[in-house]
Chain A
C-alpha cells in the first residue's frame, strides 16, 4: 500500500518545464551566436536575417527564462515545504547534513538505499543551490552583455558597473562555460532521477508531470518537512507533516 502525496505544486512543475524548454532553446541559439556554424549564402537578392533571428529568439527566451526564475523564487517563499528556498541549503541543519551524507554514501555504493524522502534528498538540494547560483550568474552575464549592445536599455545602467571589474570577454567566456555546466547538470539530473525512481519505486519520474508521489505508508517526514515544521510552528503551515494530504 502506498499513499498518494501531492509534492510538486503547479508553479514548481510549470517553472521546471519552462526552464527545460528555455535551456534547450538558449543553448542551441546561444551556441550559434558564439560560433555561427551555419553561414548563410550571400547571393540571395534579399537580405536574410539568420543571426538576427537567432539573437531575437535567444533574447526573448532569455526573458522567459528570467520570468520563470522570478516566479520560482516567489514560490520558494509561498509554496509548500518541498518548494521552499530552505531546500537549497540543507547543510545548515544537522538533519540536512545527515541526509546529505546518506545520499552521498548511496551514490558511492557504500549504502544500498537512497535516503527516503518525499521531495528531493539533501544532496540534490545542494546541487540545486549550485544550479540556482549558475542561473543567476548566466542571467546576469547575459543581461550585462545585452546592456553593452543596448546602451539605451535599462540593463546598461543596472549592469555596466561590472565592466569596471570584469572584462566583457571574460563575461562572455563565463556565459559560454556555464552553458556546458548546465548541460552536464542535465545529464546528471536525468540519470539520478531515473536511478532513484527505480530504486524507490515512488513514481519520482512521473511526479514532475503530475505532482504526485507514491510514498510508503510508514514513511517518516523528510528532512525539509521537519525543517519547515521547526521554522514555522504556526498551524497554517503547509509543511506540517500531520496535515499532509494522503490518498491511496
Chain B
C-alpha cells in the first residue's frame, strides 16, 4: 500500500477546517444510509487510512464522468477525495503526456499489484479486435483486462462503462460493451448514470476506506445506497402527480407552476437513483428540479429502452415504421371490430338464405353428409 498521510494536516493546509471535514463525514454517512453515529467512525477511519492509489481509465467516453468528478462545487468533497487518493493515472487531468503518461500506468501496476483502485469511464469496443479505441497502440479491451484484473476493485463510472451506454446504443457499430462484459469475473461496482453522481462515487470510496469492503449491490451490480430507490417515490413533485396536475406542454401554466412532468415523458417512475435526495452540482439542483423530466440515465441501455425521452411509452418498431402503443392498440381493436362486423353481415345474409332449423339443428360433425344441406331433421322430437 502507499504511504500513510496525515489527512487532518493535509486538509488544514488546503484550507479545509475540521468542521468542514466532519460535515463531509456526516454527508457520507447519510448518503450511505448509515446511522448518524457512523459519521465518527468514518472520520476516524479516513484519518487512519493509507493513501490509496487510483487509476482512472477512459475509453469510448465524453469525459462527462471526469467532469462530474472534478466539478464537485463544494471544495471539501473534491479536496478530501483527492487527498485520500493518489490519482496515479488519469488522462484528462494528469501532468505527464505520451510515453511518460503510459509509464505512470505501468509503474502503478508494477509497484502496487492488487493494491490500487481502478475506475473505468467509457465503453470498450470489442469489434474488429478492438481497433475502434486504442491508447498508445494498445486496444482498450486489452488495457482494461490488464488493469482491472490486477486491481483491488474496479468502479465502472457512467452508463458507458456499465453496459456500453451511448456507443452501445443500437446499432452498436463498434460492438461496444461495459466493463462487466469486457472483463467478467472481477470485483466490480457499477455506477451508471450519464454521468454518475460524484457524491455516490465518493460514497463508494469512503465506504471502502471505512469498512475495507465494497457496499452492497443490487442484481445489476449497482450499489443499493445510490440505486435502491425509485426517483418517483422521492420526487418533490410527487404531490402534483398524485393530485393529477400535469404539465401538458413545455412552458404552459403547469410547467411554470412546477407541476408533474409525467406526461412530458419523465422516466422517474421507472428510474432507480438517489438523485432527488443527493441532487447534482453540490445539491444545487437536479433534472426534475430544473423542470425537465428524468431520462432514466441510470437504467440499463437507456438510449434504447428509455427513448423517446419526451414520450410516456416507447414506440413500437417494425418494418421501418414506428407507432405508439395506443395507435397499435386502437388499430387492433378497430381491425377486430371491422372483421367481426363484416362476419356478422355475412352471417346475417347466410342466415336469411340458408336458415338452420331452430331447436333441432343436426350436428354436422356426426353426419358429414348433411353438410351444407338445408337442415330438415328427422331425429329428435
Interface residues in chain A, defined as those with a beta carbon under 8 Å from any beta carbon in chain B: 1-2, 34-36, 38-42, 47-52, 54-55, 98-99, 102, 107, 109, 111-113, 115-116, 148-149, 151, 160-161, 163-164, 167-170, 172-173, 176-177, 179-181, 183-184, 187-188, 191-192, 195, 198-201, 216-220
Contact = CB atoms under 8 A, between A and B. Distances in A.
A188 B314 contact: no
Interface residues of B, number: 69
B96 interface: no
Given A151-B230, A184-B336, A167 B246 contact: no
7 contacts: A2-B359, A167-B300, A169-B270, A176-B326, A180-B329, A187-B336, A201-B359
Given A2-B359, A161-B219, A187-B336, A102 B365 contact: yes
B284 interface: no
A112 B356 contact: yes
Q: Which 10 A-B pairs have the closest CB atoms?
A: A180-B329, A116-B363, A50-B244, A40-B244, A167-B305, A168-B270, A52-B242, A184-B336, A191-B340, A51-B244
Interface stretch (B149-157, B171-179, B275-283, B373-381): B373-381
B346 interface: yes
Contacts of B340: 187-188, 191-192
Given A39-B244, A40-B244, A164-B219, A180 B363 contact: no
B325 A199 contact: no
Interface string B239-283: 111111110100000100101001100010110100000000000
A36 B360 CA distance: 53
A34 B312 contact: yes
A173 B333 contact: no
B263 A36 contact: yes
A42 B246 contact: no
Given A111-B372, A173-B314, A40 B329 contact: no
B82 interface: no
Given A36-B244, A36-B246, A173 B313 contact: yes
A231 B361 CA distance: 30
A47 B335 CA distance: 42
Interface string B338-363: 00100110110011001010111111
A177 B229 CA distance: 27
Interface core residue of A111, A168, A187 (most chain B CB under 10 Å): A168
Nearest to A48: B243
Nearest to B346: A109
A99 B366 CA distance: 11
A113 B313 contact: no
A198 B329 contact: no
Contacts of A36: 244, 246, 262-263
A112 B333 contact: no
Given A51-B242, A109-B346, A111-B372, A176 B313 contact: yes
B65 interface: no
A203 to B, nearest CB: 11
A172 B313 contact: yes
Interface of B: 219-220, 228-230, 232-233, 239-246, 248, 254, 257, 259, 262-263, 267, 269-270, 272, 296, 299-301, 305-306, 312-314, 316, 325-326, 328-330, 332-333, 335-337, 340, 343-344, 346-347, 350-351, 354, 356, 358-366, 371-372, 375, 379-381
A41 B356 CA distance: 59
Contacts of B333: 180, 183-184, 187
A28 to B, nearest CB: 14
Given A35-B312, A180-B330, A107 B366 contact: no
Contacts, number: 173
Nearest to B299: A167
Contact of B365 (A99, A148, A181): A99
Given A109-B350, A167-B306, A168-B299, 17 more contacts: A40-B244, A47-B243, A51-B241, A51-B244, A55-B242, A99-B365, A112-B371, A113-B363, A163-B219, A177-B325, A177-B329, A184-B333, A187-B333, A191-B344, A195-B347, A201-B356, A219-B363
Contacts of A52: 242-243
Contacts of A98: 365
Contacts of A195: 343-344, 347
A41 B245 CA distance: 7
Interface core residue of B316, B340, B371 (most chain A CB under 10 Å): B340
A49 B371 contact: no
A114 B254 CA distance: 57
A195 to B, nearest CB: 6
Contact of B380 (A49, A163, A199, A217): A217
Interface core residue of A35, A98, A107 (most chain B CB under 10 Å): A35
B322 to A, nearest CB: 13
Contacts of A41: 245
B239 A47 contact: yes
A150 to B, nearest CB: 8
B230 A172 contact: no
Contacts of A172: 270, 313
A116 B381 CA distance: 17
Contacts of A149: 230, 232-233, 269
A105 to B, nearest CB: 9
B123 to A, nearest CB: 18
A246 B209 CA distance: 81
B295 to A, nearest CB: 11
